[in-house]
Chains A and B, each alone.
Chain A
Amino acid sequence: MSDDKLVGIVLVSHSAEVAESVARLAQGLSGSGTTVPVAPAGGRTGGGLGTSAELVVAAAASVDRGAGVAVLTDLGSAVLTVKALLTEGDELPDGTRLVDAPFVEGAVAAVVTAATGAGLDAVEAAAVEAYGYRKS
């Protein structure tokens, strides 16, 4: 790929453990070689289930390499918090995008695709496509 900047991935879950585990899973399945910047943002700042805008903002800043940031969420307040930050605020890096994808499968697809050096559009498309993967 001509551009060596990698897309960053942020995983927002109500649970810190879920966000961290899915981040490790996606990294683990993306194979050796390029390490994609992935950051979990799970639970509330002081612990407990919920969504912390502060953790989301910090996670996005930590994975921003200038090629855009794809944010995947689980449900409810995770979705609404990211949307509110995108529409109302200026705290997220330029090129941050909420990606509409299943959390686990989408995260794996996004990280695998980002590891190839693909741009934000391709990373998003791969994550969204994970909705179409049928299991039975």
Chain B
Amino acid sequence: MLDADFFRRWMAATAMSVDREADRLTALDSPIGDADHGINMKRGFAAVRTTLEKETPDTPGGVLTLAGKQLISTVGGASGPLYGTLLRRAGKALGDAGEVSEAQLADALHAGLDGVMTLGGAKPGDKTMVDALVPAVEALSAGFAAARTAAEEGAEATTPMLARKGRASYLGERSIGHQDPGATSSALLVAALTEAAEAADE
């Protein structure tokens, strides 16, 4: 079972990897976006980490809801409301339970992903974060490591795609050949699940 501490470690691990990879995310966002994805995500998850240290919610749902709210407030780009909706919707789906199973987490992330797709209107194949998250959520039933691999492969698979959402979509065919920054940061979020789980085993 996964408790609130697991979810705090998940958010902290995401904050660390986003911080580490911020330059890469911004570099990916330069040719097809507005070159702010790394700095935006870094600012957002740093705020998430600070808030979680200060407010210490004691349920998994509470951690994700607070994290999502913080992302909507602080990121400043489209990834704020999108990641915020993902986590906040997932947090609401987990309710007040003190511990949740991996299957419940998978269901909650599914609900969060539905929220993201409704909000942004993106479908698989549009070259967005959805392309990493859909295969990751599907693979979650096989464990965190499988989800991580699926998310990373999903992010890499965005390279030949034509962008159909966001600023990159204005570029048309020129968006082809670049890996999507949002799918890349989504893979970091999913990868952090394995780090949160490994930390529990130590």
Which residues on A are within 8 Å of B, measured CB to CB?
Answer: 44-45, 48-54, 76-77, 80-81, 83-85, 87-89
Q: Is the CB of B85 within 8 A of A53?
A: no
Q: Is the CB of A50 within 8 A of B76?
A: yes
Question: How many residues of B sit at the interface, in one of the four size bands?
Answer: 20 to 34
Q: Is the CB of B85 within 8 A of A89?
A: no
Give the 10 A-B CB pairs with smallest separation, nearest first. A84-B81, A50-B76, A77-B78, A80-B81, A44-B76, A53-B73, A81-B81, A88-B88, A77-B77, A80-B78
Q: Is the CB of A77 within 8 A of B36?
A: no
CA distance A88 to B89 in the complex (A): 7
Instruction: Add 5 more A-B contacts to A52-B73, A76-B77, A76-B78 (CB < 8 A).
Output: A50-B36, A77-B78, A83-B81, A87-B119, A88-B115
Q: Is the CB of A89 within 8 A of B81?
A: no
Q: Is the CB of B72 within 8 A of A88?
A: yes
Q: Is the CB of A88 within 8 A of B76?
A: no
Q: How far is the CB of A53 from chain B (nearest CB, A)?
A: 5
Q: How far is the CB of A116 from chain B (nearest CB, A)?
A: 33
B contact residues around A45 at 8 Å (CB): 76
Known A44-B76, A50-B76, A52-B76: A84·B36 in contact at CB below 8 Å: no
CA distance A76 to B81 in the complex (A): 10
Q: How far is the CB of B119 from chain A (nearest CB, A)?
A: 6
Tell me which of B69, B81, B119, B167 has the highest count of chain A C-beta atoms within 10 A of its own C-beta.
Answer: B81
Q: Is the CB of B36 within 8 A of A80?
A: no
B 50-67 binary contact with A (CB < 8 Å = 1; else 0) = 000000000000000000
Nearest B residue (CB) for A52: B76
Question: B84 contacts the other chain (Cβ, under 8 Å)?
Answer: yes
Q: Which of B76, B84, B167 contacts A84 (CB 8 A)?
A: B84
28 A-B pairs, CB-CB below 8 angstroms? A49-B34, A50-B36, A50-B76, A51-B77, A51-B80, A53-B72, A53-B73, A76-B77, A76-B78, A76-B166, A76-B167, A77-B76, A77-B77, A77-B78, A77-B81, A80-B81, A81-B72, A83-B119, A84-B82, A84-B85, A85-B81, A87-B85, A87-B115, A87-B119, A88-B72, A88-B84, A88-B89, A89-B69
Question: B38 contacts the other chain (Cβ, under 8 Å)?
Answer: no
Within B109-130, the residues touching A (CB, 8 Å) are 115, 119-120
Question: B68 contacts the other chain (Cβ, under 8 Å)?
Answer: yes
Within B37-53, the residues touching A (CB, 8 Å) are 40
CA distance A131 to B73 in the complex (A): 30
Q: Is the CB of B89 within 8 A of A80?
A: no
A contact residues around B84 at 8 Å (CB): 84, 88
Tell me which of B76, B80, B82, B167 has the highest count of chain A C-beta atoms within 10 A of its own C-beta.
Answer: B76
A contact residues around B69 at 8 Å (CB): 88-89
Q: Is the CB of B76 within 8 A of A51?
A: yes
CA distance A50 to B34 in the complex (A): 10
Q: Which of A44, A48, A76, A89 contacts B72 (CB 8 A)?
A: A89
